[in-house]
């Protein structure tokens, strides 16, 4: 969790959240926010006797939103990186999520720069997966291969013919193929990383 301290004086804690990442934060069928991070945030507000409010934004707008004081804390699954530490402070990590490619299960694709050359990879804009893909896959490609960035989560991209790179907890939560009917024939490719 990342936060500023203005909330305590106001009696309200405004959380910035990207609600596209079940089971951590998402909207249920009734349109209500739910998930581990939502429960944690509400418990913190209750213990501190603060009113809780949630400000939804895209993942890549979370840090700029905190810096601009649009909310008091980020309570959204976000890995700690040195680049992010230059802008904001973090608490101790609450959990770590490994990352892996999702794609056609029978592709036999190698998750090396050579094996991915000429392929399109979907990533969440502003995520550590985007940074990893740019550093380890996009630079060596040069003669083909596309890094497809999305502001709205790679779950929507995963249903298209290209591969996506995301936290593996999403599949267990039913977010990625093959958990969805349209994901038949999809699965994890290569080793888990991150």
Compute how many other C-beta atoms are within 10 angstroms of the C-beta atom of residue 159.
Answer: 14
Three-state DSSP class for residue 110: coil
pLDDT of residue 1: 52
End-to-end CA distance of the chain: 19
Tens of pLDDT along 169-186? 444 445 555 556 666 777
Which carries the bigger pLDDT value, residue 91 or residue 162? 91
pLDDT of residue 86: 92
Tens of pLDDT along 52-101? 999 999 988 999 999 999 999 999 878 888 888 999 998 888 877 777 78
Query: What are the chain's domains?
Result: 2-85 (3.40.190.10), 99-193 (3.40.190.10)
**Count of CA atoms in the C-beta half-sphere (13 A) of 178:** 9
Tens of pLDDT along 130-145? 778 877 776 655 444 4
Which carries the bigger pLDDT value, residue 189 or residue 74? 74
Answer whether residue 9 shows pLDDT above 70.
no
pTM of the predicted model as reported, rounded to 2 decimal places: 0.63
Average pLDDT, the chain: 75
Answer whether residue 166 shows pLDDT above 60.
no
Give the confidence band of 104 by pLDDT, cuts at 50, 70, 90. confident
Tell me whether residue 58 is exposed, middle or buried, using C-beta atoms within 10 angstroms of its C-beta: 0 to 12, 13 to 18, 19 or more. middle
Answer whether residue 159 shows pLDDT above 50.
no
Alpha-carbon torsion, ordered 2, 22, 136, 183, to 10 deg: -170
């Amino acid at each position: 969790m990342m936060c500023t301290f203005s909330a305590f004086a106001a009696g309200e804690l405004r959380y910035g959240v990207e609600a596209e990442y079940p089971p951590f934060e998402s909207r249920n069928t009734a349109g209500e926010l739910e998930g581990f991070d939502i429960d944690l945030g509400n418990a913190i507000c209750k213990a501190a006797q603060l009113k809780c409010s949630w400000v939804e934004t895209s993942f890549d707008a979370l840090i700029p939103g905190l810096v601009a004081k649009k909310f008091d804390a980020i309570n959204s699954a976000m890995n700690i990186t040195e680049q992010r530490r230059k802008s904001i402070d973090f608490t101790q990590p609450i959990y770590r999520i490994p990352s892996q490619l999702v794609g056609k299960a029978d592709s036999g694709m190698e998750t090396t720069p050579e094996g991915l050359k000429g392929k399109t990879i979907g990533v969440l804009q502003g995520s550590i997966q985007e940074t990893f893909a740019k550093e380890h896959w996009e630079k060596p490609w040069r003669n083909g291969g596309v890094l497809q960035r999305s502001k709205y989560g790679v779950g929507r991209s995963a249903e298209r013919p290209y591969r996506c790179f995301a936290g593996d907890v999403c599949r267990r939560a039913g977010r990625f193929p093959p958990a969805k009917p349209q994901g038949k024939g999809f699965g994890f490719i290569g080793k888990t990383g991150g």
